[in-house]
Structure 1
């Protein structure tokens, strides 16, 4: 019996020893209709909302009515925070008679700001003229307007590609290594600036640190000389302006007497400081957010800003929104059970308004490729049976490399989809992957100029100078292999000549190898070491991400017999990737959405596939592994960082779960990056109970101990007269199609055993 003949989907995750499914409580149905009595002075406002179909629950009413002083609204996933902000704005206008120009509502995206404006204008009791005068802005547009009014005429630099080109040109001028990633320089610079630091605070310990700092300083100087500002400068310049211009600050404070901030958990320290300046001294500040959804630490967002809000404003009033209107009770219940394991959070237990017998479904494929096959089949089945459309479905993943297999499977099965992940980068074009493929392409076509240019940094030769010399040599003395020209380059050092000779031999060997063996040989001979010793990539997370991408490349290569087959397949996938851009701006396109969990925050989908819920993926390996420091202070710091990282990873899992409205599938691959991995602790912890076993100690007394039963994957003999089974320990065994019993020679099948 083949594995595919067995059930794939289960109501419990693999390894569960508790069969109790978590369900959220069903919330009370009382709304403003019953809660707000007609005799109350503000009843007219709530009656008007009810006529529009807006019926607020008790906590939402409290949040709307609380208008003076600092207010923290903790809005759990799907609890209607946007409705509260819109209705609270209307309440200020109609009930409190606040002038619209005295209200400031801050959001993080233009899309959110536009939606807020539309919904405020649609309120029955609010005049359109009033709605227009309410200041609803993103942080950057609001503070840019202040700078413009203060005489700043700088041109905005908003194109990331353009900024990267500026840095690349400078790198060529300075002769800096090609391995430095301009986007990493810009990201690091942004992190420092948003935390109130400057280039002076950037490290200079290694040569790489010095080069990165030099490029950051050049970029800042280039903007200054060319009268440019980027988004980070808008905030830093505004902060400097308000700190030194008391008259301007007082004007803003007098005008914006009521300030609201949406998605407060995503606030970085500089944004928070700006808000505190504007709301003083009245402090009529309302912040809305969910500490359980703080997932942007890499962008500077700090969870302790929302957690410690009451320390900054001791007189704060707190309202907790706990009624989830988005998801069914089983989905909300699972989200509750996962996130309650976090220690640093505001305690809240979400309720649901939607009963359902459809519970989250778990599956445990052998690999990410099998995971992709199963999901594609299930999507096709759901759509063919008429229960879902493609646009109802989202597939959420942790990192860019986690989407490689599902991207390819959807394309192969001709399932319409759009990949929203990682800024549209194609997996095979990542900086860690493209050089390996370039060696394969150059092995098949030694005159491939693009592939040749790509491999030059791995030969420790600067791209621009190397290409110029080889071009000149090929015109003067044409050869069949471009790499042959390198040995005549002047001023090459012995280690460079040795490297070139090794790569020439490797290129001769590659065409006879299967793709997986070719990838492994390139990595083993030099590429892994090259990445590891390249101190231009000092970030441990970045290096781990590169290894992850290379492991995923190996997994992809395993499906092909010849290099040409794999390279042609990649070319076809690249074409599919380009074709997807046609539906990027059509929100109603009937396509499956493929996106990172980070990208999915704030969105919702009828059906969600949360893939890669395994140890090393979610939570990511960089959050699990702690360096073994000898110095105790460093060890304590490392453990504290790991604690924070794991809590954020659990919040990521929570965000993924709570995007689902009706159906949720959670996949936990058995093998990843060539290793066997466990079901994610975030899922496993929900369904793990200790089982007591009774034993006798040496004195004969009864002793109870805890033992956890768990499933293991195994080859099991099909003969009814044989009890033999063997545990599956490797990826090779997992993908093996058949096996005979070592005891009775009968066929064995893949299955599970409890140990």
Structure 2
């Protein structure tokens, strides 16, 4: 017999012992939920003599499934068969392999991976003659995925959207896409769950056979389930009702992936006889950290009441620092980590959590300057993102670089009608004549076999590159980027590749950050040179391309808050605690009040990753969309009680430009030490919109005609106090409506 009362705390033991009927285990962050599930499974098998094959435990990731399987196996007698512990997709895949013929497939059906799905979508667009500029393929793919997650096949999707003109083409695309998969005896990943549900509903005998097999069902991370997963679980558990779901509504942060928080919030409505067990004792964080997290999440209305507590001491207060700029914020954190490492800590003890990957660049620069090992977890370095690699390839080609790989990357990007066979002929000519691929492109008229669209496309490509190259010496480096984006058609390409306006805006932000870095480099460099700039930033094969040593795990972890879920670190920095960054502007402006609640849950997740120390930072100003914007402190900061915060750090006497290592001496102004700013508790009472404006009011009024040095004449539509400046909206005669800060726009009244 397993002594559950000895091995588990009272609440965990209660959850493990409750094996019959529906059970909801509300497992707070760091409360030992996996341990509880493992002991519950072992108790069923060893003590209650339930056959292992009668148990099904569902997880969301293979990693979670493997960890749970290994821990259960370690507790069971040697040689005993382990229960079925796997992901939703793996479980449904096994079911489909046995019964796919009932839905019109053969048992040898194939899984269409991401590349296959993309190829199918191209065929569908070609057949339906749909312009990718109007409906990007990724947008259609996302629409289909969301439909399947909601258990809507093409017919159901068409019925639900009948009469909606905006969905007309999606209906056609979905129908043709699914027909193409069926014709090729293939299912995509979303089909696996949707088709299993369809199978169960269409063939009750098949459903009952699986119900009799899996008499005890457990689901991990239940708050992340979507409609299809919910229905799959409901059907499977419907006969015996021995369903145990484990999750935390306060950590439901995947709505953008289709997760429905109502599944966990309404569990007791779906199962009126359900027993609810709350795991609230935290084994990870100090009591001060937990108190802050509890205070923040308590502001959500859609949640199940619970409060984390711990037996560990209070620990340090939570530090809050506001810096002047994003690079200053990164420099402060880097210096703070370096100081603590000098005092005996390890780099691997520190994690920096960011709201979006866009924030990573300043940290990459700060760590590279200081030669500190770091890792961008589950994300790409700024310089390794596709958009930056594409634009960098253009820049290096314009600068006269002779790297054939870069030329090959951009010769048909965006598409210019240049096929692979034509590129091969040009490459062969280049090799025969001992020249670069680009130089061979310049002599395309002399190359046999290259004609038609390919000839026109290559000539257009070289003329564009040479035209920009000839003028680049008289241009700002950032203006060279602007020319490339415009003349190459890359801006339109980004729009086509984006599956949402948010994704397009993010890609534009990457380019704007590149332009900012170029401007900063040009200010500092004695003789600005594109290749020198690229080399310094690891784009042209520099030795500082990757600071981290793959064999060394002692490195700072930089990751988004979403990627941090399920992880823990001794010391955590949460960056970007500003209105408009965290919570994001989209959530603030959303008509759905639940949007802010999801952001608050994300904040709760971020705070509860910290074991010993937690530092929250903010920046007064950031460059966004090519404009300098001022930000107020995040409303989430104001939800943390004063007594839990340490904001009393003395500012440095003067700001100075820091010395940087030779390899990175011209990196984009990340090389400034910024002084932390101490704030009194009065900031708690500040309005969430912004700080009071300290800039003088513009000398023009709404309705006045003004002139901008670049955008020309326009009419002032609004003037709103914001941050330290006034936000002015102007409808320009030539470029339409633009928003800008008065201090930077320097508008002249006409």
Residue 712 of structure 2 is matched in structure 1 by: none
Q: 2:96 aligns with which of 122, 143, 147?
A: 147
Residue 315 of structure 2 is matched in structure 1 by: 357
Could you tell which deviates more after superposition, 503-512 or 144-153? 503-512
Residue 55 of structure 1 is matched in structure 2 by: 8
Residue 444 of structure 1 is matched in structure 2 by: 399
Q: 1:198 aligns with which of 153, 176, 183?
A: 153
1:550-604 deviation digits (Å, cap 9, x = unpaired)? 3332333333123223222343487789858974xx7x82222222211111111
What is the CA-CA distance between 1:208 and the residue it aligns to? 11
Within 5 Å, give how 1:37-116 maps onto structure 2: 45-46=2-3, 50=6, 54-57=7-10, 59-116=11-68
Residue 204 of structure 2 is matched in structure 1 by: 246
Secondary structure, counterpart of 2:614 in structure 1: strand
> In 2, are the aligned partners of 1:393 and 1:608 still within 8 Å (CA)?
yes
Aligned length: 630
Distance change in 2, residues 1:206/1:104 (3 Å):
closer
What is the CA-CA distance between 1:536 and the residue it aligns to? 6.5
Structure 2 CA distance, aligned partners of 1:271 and 1:250? 18
Structure 2 CA distance, aligned partners of 1:436 and 1:572? 11
The answer to whether structure 1 residue 552 and structure 2 residue 501 are counterparts is no
> In 1, are the aligned partners of 2:360 and 2:381 still within 8 Å (CA)?
no
Residue 748 of structure 2 is matched in structure 1 by: none
Please report the TM-score for the alignment, with normalisation by the length of structure 1: 0.72
What is the CA-CA distance between 1:481 and the residue it aligns to? 10
Distance change in 2, residues 1:527/1:647 (3 Å):
farther
1:668-716 deviation digits (Å, cap 9, x = unpaired)? 1222222111222222333589xxxxxxxxxxxxxxxx9749978999x
The answer to whether structure 1 residue 366 and structure 2 residue 324 are counterparts is yes
What is the CA-CA distance between 1:164 and the residue it aligns to? 4.2
What is the CA-CA distance between 1:70 and the residue it aligns to? 1.4
Distance change in 2, residues 1:185/1:510 (3 Å):
farther
Residue 711 of structure 2 is matched in structure 1 by: none
Residue 320 of structure 1 is matched in structure 2 by: 278
Could you tell which deviates more after superposition, 297-306 or 63-72? 63-72
Secondary structure, counterpart of 1:409 in structure 2: helix
> In 2, are the aligned partners of 1:440 and 1:510 still within 8 Å (CA)?
no
1:150-177 deviation digits (Å, cap 9, x = unpaired)? 3663355475456546656887899977
Structure 2 CA distance, aligned partners of 1:624 and 1:501? 46
What is the CA-CA distance between 1:107 and the residue it aligns to? 1.3
Q: 2:288 aligns with which of 307, 311, 330?
A: 330
Could you tell which deviates more after superposition, 464-473 or 290-299? 464-473
The answer to whether structure 1 residue 591 and structure 2 residue 544 are counterparts is no
Structure 2 CA distance, aligned partners of 1:184 and 1:543? 12
> In 1, are the aligned partners of 2:224 and 2:260 still within 8 Å (CA)?
yes
Q: Which runs of 5+ in 1 are unaligned?
A: 1-43, 627-638, 690-705, 716-726, 732-755
The answer to whether structure 1 residue 677 and structure 2 residue 627 are counterparts is no
Structure 2 CA distance, aligned partners of 1:373 and 1:382? 14
The answer to whether structure 1 residue 293 and structure 2 residue 251 are counterparts is yes
Distance change in 2, residues 1:221/1:154 (3 Å):
farther
Structure 1 CA distance, aligned partners of 2:299 and 2:184? 51
> In 1, are the aligned partners of 2:398 and 2:469 still within 8 Å (CA)?
yes
Structure 2 CA distance, aligned partners of 1:185 and 1:578? 36
Structure 2 CA distance, aligned partners of 1:729 and 1:437? 34
Residue 346 of structure 2 is matched in structure 1 by: 389
Structure 2 CA distance, aligned partners of 1:394 and 1:311? 40
The answer to whether structure 1 residue 567 and structure 2 residue 534 are counterparts is yes
Secondary structure, counterpart of 1:324 in structure 2: coil
Structure 1 CA distance, aligned partners of 2:136 and 2:342? 45
1:512-556 deviation digits (Å, cap 9, x = unpaired)? 334344445666899797479x46646222223223323332333
What is the CA-CA distance between 1:280 and the residue it aligns to? 0.9
Structure 1 CA distance, aligned partners of 2:13 and 2:290? 22
Please report the TM-score for the alignment, with normalisation by the length of structure 2: 0.72
Distance change in 2, residues 1:217/1:316 (3 Å):
same
1:346-395 deviation digits (Å, cap 9, x = unpaired)? 12221122113312222222222222222222222222221x22222222
> In 1, are the aligned partners of 2:154 and 2:174 still within 8 Å (CA)?
yes
Q: 1:606 aligns with which of 565, 570, 588?
A: 570
The answer to whether structure 1 residue 302 and structure 2 residue 260 are counterparts is yes
Distance change in 2, residues 1:211/1:451 (3 Å):
farther
Residue 187 of structure 2 is matched in structure 1 by: 229
Residue 720 of structure 1 is matched in structure 2 by: none
Residue 656 of structure 1 is matched in structure 2 by: 606
